[in-house]
Structure 1
Amino acid sequence: MTDAQSNAHEFTVSEVANAVKRTIEDQFGFVRVRGEVSGYRGPHSSGHAYFTLKDEGATIDAVVWKGNFARLAFKPEEGLEVIATGRLTTYPRSSKYQIVIEQIEPAGAGALMALLEERRKKLLAEGLFAPERKCAIPYLPRVIGVVTSPTGAVIRDILHRLEDRFPTHVIVWPVRVQGDTCASEVTRAIGGFNGFEPDGPIPRPDLLIVARGGGSIEDLWGFNEESVVRAVARSHIPIISAVGHETDITLIDYAADKRAPTPTGAAEMAVPVRGELIAYVDDLGSRQRGAARRSVINLRDRLRAASAGLPRPTDLTSTQRQRLDLVSARLESALRNAYQKKALRFAERGATFGPAILRRHFEREGLRLSSCAQRLQPDMLDRRIADFRTKLDQFGARAPVALGNLAGRAALRARPIIARLQPAFARRVLDKRRELEGVSKLIESLSYRRVLDRGFALVADEDGNIVTTPNAVGPGEALVITVAEGRIDATVSGAPSASRRKRPTEGGSQESLF
């Protein structure tokens, strides 16, 4: 019996899959899907992103191609409720349908605020908002860098306020302050200013101002991106954040060194008022001059008061002047009296020096000289020499007896001294011998021979120099290894690396002494 023939058309699997694909793409060419991001692990190695959108009753696979992922204003995050805009398609190989996402936005302001709060807590935990990381704002910056849009009213307000308060050199780094590329451009601008050389062709700013006008949370979202916050935290140049109005809070405000309520307020924080500064300096100058003047007047008054208590110079010298006058008056009469006394004494002495007196004096001295000459005659000298020789012979006869008596008395006095000296000398020698034995024992205990007895070895080259490092010898050099029982001659077969550890020798734990 043959099978009944059917009129139904037979489709291949690929034809069915392609038909379903065309149907879904025609019916759902552009859709907006609301759901929670699930299974997101970041971009794939290919640059595409794969995850799932789900709600209470269903799930749908989602894919963001590499080109679209770089242009997304909001990147997908695990657990974030979003509204995805794209087109539905199928993947025929696995018979699944999916949405190819072209744009993602948070599902309402509440979701944005929740994402903002979650990101703030994350960065706070990393310490990017810590007060100790913040730098002090310079009082008078020579160069100010401004990161903002060059065409908006913000840069004009900042320049106008700086011109009014304290004109200074301003460098503007133009960026987009809204849109997909806002975060990356602001990050590059902050990093670029920090990359300037202090003495380069373009002066490095002393202060940075990141500014933007007011707007919605979506408009300001570029300043909530992690890349911008991290760039601000890494900056070595102090930064003033002036994003939005006073009620607008972004994450860059927490990381910046100072937050201004408006861009105009940032300019006011950056520089003081030049007129007020000049007036303040003038006031300080006048106060300093007044203080110096008062100090001089005070010192002059103190000098006058001190000088009033001192005696007059004439009073100090009046007594000495009177004494000088009195002495000078007495000096003339004293000199006259002294002259008269000396003249009288000279006259009295002059009378004793007449020719007769001098003649008698010469005669008397001549007689004394004749008497001395007679005593110096040869026969007189011979008699005196004979007398001295006789006395000397008599003394020589008595000298041996006297010397013998003297030596005997000295021996008697020295005998008890020698008796006491011998035992004292013996005790001294014994003490020194004991001290020498102690030092010898100490030297023996500290000798390197005792270290060799404990299993160590002393390594030296053929010249007798101690080897302390492996790099001191090379292959083929002779070594002398001294151990407790003698010496061992060895040759280096290879120089070990300085960082290689020595291995213990077999049969013992001997190691090099050095």
Structure 2
Amino acid sequence: MSDLFEDPDPAPGGNLPEFSVSEISGAVKRVLEGEFGRVRVRGEVGRVFRARSGHLYFDIKDDRSVLASVCWKGQCAALETLPEEGMEVIATGKLTTFGSQSKYQLTVDDLRPAGVGALMAMLEKRKAALQAEGLFDPARKRPLPYLPEVIGVVTSPSGAVIRDILHRLRDRFPRKVLVWPVAVQGKACAPEVTRAIEGFNALTPGGAMPRPDLIIVARGGGSIEDLWGFNEESVARAAAASQIPLISAVGHETDTTLIDYVSDHRAPTPTAAAEAAVPVRLDLLATLDKQAARLSGSLTRAVGQRRQRLADLSRALPRPAGLTQPARQRLDWLETRLPAALTGLAQARRSELAQLAATLRPQGLAARIAAERRHLDQLPPRMAQALAGGRRQAARDLDRLALRLSDRPIRRDIARGHEAVDRVAARLTPRFRDRIEAEAKRLAALDRLRVTLGYEATLARGYAVVRGDGEVVTTKAAAETARSLEIQFRDGRLTLGAAPPRRRKPKDEPPPEQGSLL
């Protein structure tokens, strides 16, 4: 391969071999991959960019240099930790070139944080970002149900955590438990826990699969690397978005992960999570018995107090006979007065009836009818007089309107208009006459100026105007080429035939003494 870049003829002016750009790029690629192969690089992550295709492009840098790196879409899913800007990592991959841009790059297939310090720094960065979004705000945390019917547990089905939770629930208050098995460490931990929380929330209440009233995310203790899956941003956001109250019980009491900050309740251990989920059934029964005894005693005392109060009030009340005696006496008195009152009322009504019957005798009705007939007989003459008076008044009004609508005022207005027009015409006629005379004088002056400045006056002084084919001719050449000529004199025009063709003058012929006009 080194022979490809050696100069076969180092002497000046020798013949150098020619290579295409692709040959040079391929040679460099083979040399670089052959010399380095797979390498491990430690540095700080710089710019990070994920393309639409799913490929991940980022830089690994130190205080002096920058190494471009790429992780293909299929390899990104296998990474335990995705690169974040500012994180110190150890990247493993293959060093190769990108010939299209004449640059080399590292194809990364494994990426790990460079020690616990880098993990803690990345954890603090994520924690600060989520806290700035308000996901740690205590106001958004929901209260836990007092006695949930169904409890969903997200944990490993083969560990001791699920047995401790089930045992503690059985001792305190047996409840229905749905277990969603997940990996609690490794690269599959974060996506499986995220899907489990979202899956419990996606269940339909009252469906074939009961929807939990409470979720417990649990795991035993371990190192920060073992618990790192619960520090992933996807897990924290899924726990914060959960509509079901969530208890986090990850690690021992001293272990703290991001899910502990966003959950509705943090339990130091899985056993403590089970204790926070349900109350103690025996304590509830004892409390219920105590409350029942207190309620029974309270009812007995209340009934006794009410009975004693009723007895006291009954002694203070008067006897029933004493309460009704005045009313009975008044009733007897009214009973004695009732017959006389009825007799008097009947007599009064009989007198009123007699008075009304006297006014309704036949003689009275006949007299009233006769009076009304006389009044009716008097109405036609009065109506005729009223109609005649109305007609006379309408005729007078009509005459007045006819006088107002006659043509005399119109003729008078027309005569006044004629007089006004005559007065205006008498004033305007002299003015128009003076104006016409002034304009006639001005037109005559302009005509004299036209005649003075026209070429006809020049013809009177011995000049002539020559036209060839209807156009004014000012040169000899134009006159010789015209088909016909017209000469305008002072007293008329003279038309000549076609001009003879121009004859070439012999070289030895002497010039004429006088040129021809034509």
Same-fold status (TM-score > 0.5): yes
Cα deviations by residue, 1:149-202 (Å, 9 ceiling, x for unpaired): 111111111111111110010001111111212211111111111111111101
Residue number in structure 2 paired with 1:36: 44
Residue number in structure 2 paired with 1:273: 280
Moved more, 259-268 or 224-233: 224-233
Name the CA distance, whole Å, in 1 between partners of 2:36 and 2:260. Answer: 43
Residue number in structure 2 paired with 1:196: 203
Instruction: Answer with 1 or 2: which has the greater Rg.
Output: 2
Q: Does 1:169 align with 2:193?
A: no
* Correspondence for 1:185 among 192, 195, 198: 192
Q: Does 1:113 align with 2:116?
A: no
* Correspondence for 1:143 among 147, 150, 154: 150
Q: Does 1:82 align with 2:89?
A: yes
Residue number in structure 1 paired with 2:29: 21
Q: Does 1:221 align with 2:231?
A: no
Gaps of 5+ in 2: 1-10, 325-518
Name the CA distance, whole Å, in 2 between partners of 1:200 and 1:81. Answer: 48
Residue number in structure 2 paired with 1:248: 255
Name the CA distance, whole Å, in 1 between partners of 2:285 and 2:35. Answer: 74
Distance 1:308 1:82, change over 3 A: same
Residue number in structure 2 paired with 1:289: 296
Instruction: Give the CA deviation at 1:20.
Output: 4.0
Distance 1:316 1:123, change over 3 A: closer
Q: How does 1:115-130 map to 2 (within 5 A)?
A: 115-130=122-137
Quote the RMSD (CA, aligned, Å): 2.8
Name the CA distance, whole Å, in 1 between partners of 2:202 and 2:101. Answer: 51
Cα deviations by residue, 1:120-170 (Å, 9 ceiling, x for unpaired): 111111122222221110000000011111111111111111111100100
Cα deviations by residue, 1:415-457 (Å, 9 ceiling, x for unpaired): xxxxxxxxxxxxxxxxxxxxxxxxxxxxxxxxxxxxxxxxxxx
Name the CA distance, whole Å, in 1 between partners of 2:13 and 2:143. Answer: 91
Name the CA distance, whole Å, in 2 between partners of 1:192 and 1:310. Answer: 73
Instruction: Give the CA deviation at 1:4.
Output: 7.7
- Give SS of 2:238's match: helix
TM-score, structure 2 normalization: 0.56
Name the CA distance, whole Å, in 1 between partners of 2:320 and 2:135. Answer: 81
Q: How does 1:17-416 map to 2 (within 5 A)?
A: 17-41=25-49, 43-303=50-310
Name the CA distance, whole Å, in 1 between partners of 2:120 and 2:175. Answer: 39
Instruction: Give the CA deviation at 1:246.
Output: 1.0
Name the CA distance, whole Å, in 2 between partners of 1:92 and 1:233. Answer: 46
Instruction: Give the CA deviation at 1:102.
Output: 1.0
In the alignment, residue 180 of structure 2 is paired with which amino acid?
A: W
In the alignment, residue 213 of structure 1 is paired with which amino acid?
A: G
Gaps of 5+ in 1: 321-514
TM-score, structure 1 normalization: 0.57
Cα deviations by residue, 1:226-258 (Å, 9 ceiling, x for unpaired): 211111111111111111111111111111111
Count of matched residue pairs = 314
Instruction: Give the CA deviation at 1:17.
Output: 4.1
Name the CA distance, whole Å, in 2 between partners of 1:317 and 1:74. Answer: 99
In the alignment, residue 76 of structure 1 is paired with which amino acid?
A: P
In the alignment, residue 286 of structure 1 is paired with which amino acid?
A: A
